[in-house]
Amino acid sequence: MNTYAKTTLCLLAAVILLGTGYWAGNRYPLSGVRPWVQSSQPPLPGITIEGQAVSVVRGGFSWCSGSGSCSITDSAPLITILKNHKEPPVQVQPKAKIETHAPPGIKEFTMTRLEGSAGENPYEVPEQPGVYYYRIYCEWFSDQGNAEFGFVVEVREK
């Protein structure tokens, strides 16, 4: 076999391999790759207590929109934002359960009570009457971003 025939055969094999890879990649995308959420800011999580929707505020975040532009937004400490929030806190019964609804495309969702004790269940409001502040941290797949959110509840006497 001469050099020209070997070169032609190698090029043909390369085209077949590349074409097969392209076809298989488009037909069967990698399962670990997730599409980005199409939003200019991180979507808000949903919070419900005793059937009442709770107002959630967005704190600082790092976010890349689906169009490719990325931004980092700094904010005041979350406790400051929550204490200055104009909307009154939702009033709930002692020991009420907190239902969470994670935003789309989420990889990590962590909720804690600010100024709380270690070992407390953050998904249940305290028994003692008072105003309580909560923090939610969310992180999205494919390094799209992360954000801090917060909400306020008031536990009333039985």
Please report the pLDDT score of residue 15 as a whole number: 59
Considering the entire predicted model, what is its pTM? Answer: 0.76
Low-confidence ranges of the chain (pLDDT < 70): 9-34, 118
Which token pair is 130? 């008072």
- Coil, helix or strand for 150? strand
pLDDT at position 2 is 80
Q: Burial, 139: exposed, middle or buried (Cβ in 10 Å; 0-12, 13-18, 19+)?
A: middle
In sign, the C-alpha dihedral spanning 43, 47, 52, 55 is negative
Give the per-residue pLDDT at 120: 81
